[in-house]
Amino acid sequence: MSELMKNPRPMKKAQIKSRECRESCKIKEFDIPIKTKVLINAWAIGRDPKHWSEPERFIPERFIDSPLDYNGTHFEYLPFGGGRRICPGISFGLANIEIALAMLLYHFDWKLPNEMKQEDDLNMTEVFGITVKRKDDLCLIPSAYHPSK
């Protein structure tokens, strides 16, 4: 990034070069002319009711015994993008999030603060930017988890 900031000309060229049709084609009923800029809306794909039952609900069990993977080969699910532009940090990100989440779930029980009586009170509104995050910070109360109890 330092070199790109010092030399903005290559950065501008890289920014212009997006997904662009190299030849005319037809996708379903749409004719896509050559040189058309094409953007993949992964957010909408991941919430398409044609592919997902209850797409807005968090149901991680749906991936158990599923042929889908996160490597960008199934276009129903593209959390890291796909093709030549797949996220280069996919391995690093997965390794780090898996171990951190596993440790937090193994060592603690988690509860909402007293003023929030149930999960329905939890506002799941998102804010979009370079990443998607919660609009409001998540405040939880941890308590030590003892599997033997």
- Numbered residues of the known binding site: 87
Query: How many degrees, rounded to 5, is the angle at CA 128 between CA 73 and CA 63?
Result: 35
Neighbouring-strand partners of residue 141: 111
Query: How many CA atoms within 13 Å lie on the side-chain side of 77?
Result: 13
Say how far apart CA 134 and CA 11 lie, in whole Å.
30
Find out whether 50 and 83 touch, Cβ atoms under 8 Å: no
Long-range Cβ contacts of 11-20 (<8 Å, 24+ apart): 19/85
The sign of the CA dihedral 133, 19, 88, 10 is negative
Binding site listing for heme:
87
Sequence-distant (6+) residues with CB within 8 A of 118 are: 112
